């Protein structure tokens, strides 16, 4: 599925709505049903690292206590050469591998067995990228003119013209370990050159911010999953399109995703002049 050319369409109708009218947001109390807990998985194999997988169950939406973890699963990771490893549980639903490390150009299969039921799926580790250059420009689009100056990033990434590459770029502020937001870039948006450059409009910052960028090289399935996830977690004030659960690569009876990836990281701060 060509999930999305939507990242080009940053300028959406709903964005205009919230811009044009002095719309107003308010946190409200609402009663929601509690669904039957469903198995969820967050699995990753990073370049030169062993796989880590977290298994837990969904909780009620407004719950602030930790979820119930699945601690009795059998999780196996296998690479395309047929070498596999069983992950071991280290507590709180975390399972980690030791010997099988992420390698470029290799596809990995993850299988999770819980209560006799098998959930399995694949992801491929693509050529790593590199943040060749990271700079910023002053943002002069819409927005209140009274506020502090805002800045946008300009990013240059290394790209492998021999491959159909996809990138997930996360933006962090002031050393936080949770990203502010992320954006996705497909090879379709660029000439297939050695270097690609772009300026993400959805992330802006001010003079005092310390900005860190992580650029992940991902495969098409991961790109699609994060695109769907973005629609669900970042509704940005609008859209009455029907929400849904992003589709897992491990089948219908599980939520979450298993991906193989690598990343590069760089930081920047606005200089005084």
Partner 1 sequence: MNLKKYLWLIIALYWLSVLLVTAQDKYTISGEVTDAETGEVLIGVTIYTADKMIGTMTNTYGFYSLTLPAGQQTIYFSFVGYETQQKQLLLNSNQSIKIALQTNETALNEVVVKAEKKDKNITSTQMAGEKLDMKTIDKLPVLFGERDVLKTIQLLPGISTVSEGGNGFSVRGGSIDQNLILLDEAPVYSASHLMGFFSVFNADAIKGMTVYKSGIPANYGGRAASVLDITMKDGNMKKLQGSGGIGLLASRITLEGPVVADKMSFIVSGRRSYADLMAKGANQIDGDTKMYFYDLNAKLNYKINDNNRLFLSGYFGKDDFGFDDLGMDWGNTTATLRWNHLFSAKLFSNTTALYSEYDYGFNFGDNGSMQSGIKDVSLKQDFTWYASPENTLRYGLNCTYHTFYPGEFLFEDQSISDIKVAEKQAFESSLYISNEQKLGQQLVLDYGLRASMFNQVGKGENITYDDDNNIIDKEYFSNGQVMQSYYGLEPRLGINYRLTPQSSFKASYNRMVQYLHLLSNSTSGQPTDTWTPSTYNIKPTTVNQYSVGWFRNFFDNTFEFSAESYYKTMNNISDYKDGTQVMLNEDIESYVLQGEGRSFGLELYLKKKYGNFTGWISYTLSNTENKIDGINNGQWYSSSYDKTHDVSIVSSYQLSTRLSVSANWIFYTGNAVTFPSGKYEFDGNQVPYYTERNGYRMPDYHRLDLNIHLEGKGKRRINSSWDFSLYNLYNRMNAYTINFRENETNPNITEAVKLSLFGIVPSVTWNFKF
Supply 142's token pair: 């819409």
Question: At closest approach, how far in Å is the CB of 227 from partner 1?
Answer: 8
13 vs 82 by CB, closer to partner 1: 13
Q: Find tokens 């596999």 and name the residue.
A: 84
Do 106 and 120 contact (CB within 8 A), yes or no? no
Give the one residue of 116, 244, 271, 273 binding partner 1; rule: CB under 8 A: 244
Binding to partner 1 (CB under 8 A) within 123-182 occurs at 140-146, 177-179
| 2-21 positions binding partner 1, by CB under 8 A | 2-6, 8-9, 11, 13-14, 16-21
C-beta neighbour count of 151 within 10 angstroms: 20
Please identify which residue in 81, 91, 115, 241 interacts with partner 1, judged by CB under 8 A. 241
Question: Which residues, listed in sequence order, are joined to residue 204 by a DSSP beta bridge?
Answer: 152
In the complex, least distance from residue 28 CB atom to partner 1, rounded to whole angstroms: 5
For the bound state, the minimum distance from the C-beta of residue 249 to partner 1, rounded and expressed in Å, comes to: 13
Q: Contact with partner 1 (CB under 8 A): which of 203, 257, 258, 263?
A: 257
Candidates 107-115, 129-137, 202-210, 227-235: pick the segment binding partner 1 (CB under 8 A). 227-235
Instruction: Give CA–CA dist 222/169, Å, rounded.
Output: 13
Residue 256: closest CA among 21, 56, 88, 76: 56
Which is nearer to partner 1, 34 or 265 (by Cβ)? Answer: 34
Q: Which of residues 54-93 bind partner 1 (CB under 8 A)?
A: 54, 56-64, 67
- Which neighbouring-strand residues pair with 121? 110
User: What is d(CA 146, CA 57) in angstroms, rounded to the nearest whole number?
Assistant: 46
User: Is residue 265 involved in binding partner 1 (CB under 8 A)?
Assistant: no
* Pair of tokens at residue 195: 């270097």
Is residue 249 within 8 Å of 225, Cβ to Cβ?
yes
Least distance (Å) between residue 180 CB and partner 1: 10
């Amino acid at each position: 599925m060509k999930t999305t050319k939507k990242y080009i369409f940053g300028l959406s109708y709903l964005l205009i709505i919230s811009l044009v009218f002095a719309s107003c947001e308010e946190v409200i109390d609402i009663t929601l049903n509690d669904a039957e807990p469903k198995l969820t998985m967050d699995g990753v194999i990073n370049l030169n690292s062993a796989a880590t997988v977290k298994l837990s169950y969904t909780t009620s939406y407004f719950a602030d206590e930790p979820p119930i973890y699945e601690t009795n699963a059998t999780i196996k990771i296998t690479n395309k050469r047929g070498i596999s490893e069983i992950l071991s549980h280290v507590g709180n639903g975390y399972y980690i591998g030791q010997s099988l490390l992420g390698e470029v150009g290799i596809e990995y299969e993850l299988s999770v067995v819980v209560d006799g039921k098998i959930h399995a799926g694949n992801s491929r580790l693509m050529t790593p990228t590199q943040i060749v250059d990271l700079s910023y420009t002053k943002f002069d689009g819409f927005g209140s003119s009274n506020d502090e100056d805002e800045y946008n990033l300009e990013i240059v990434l290394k790209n492998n013209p021999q491959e159909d590459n996809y990138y997930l770029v996360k933006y962090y502020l002031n050393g936080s370990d949770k990203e502010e937001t992320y954006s996705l870039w497909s090879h379709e948006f660029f000439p297939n050159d050695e270097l690609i450059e772009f300026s993400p409009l959805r992330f802006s910052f001010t003079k005092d911010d310390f900005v860190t960028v992580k650029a992940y090289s991902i495969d098409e399935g991961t790109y699609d999953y994060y695109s769907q996830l973005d629609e669900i977690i970042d509704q940005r004030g609008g859209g009455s399109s029907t929400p849904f659960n992003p589709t897992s690569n491990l089948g219908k009876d599980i939520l979450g995703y298993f991906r193989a990836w690598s990343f590069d990281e760089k930081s920047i701060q606005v200089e005084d002049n």
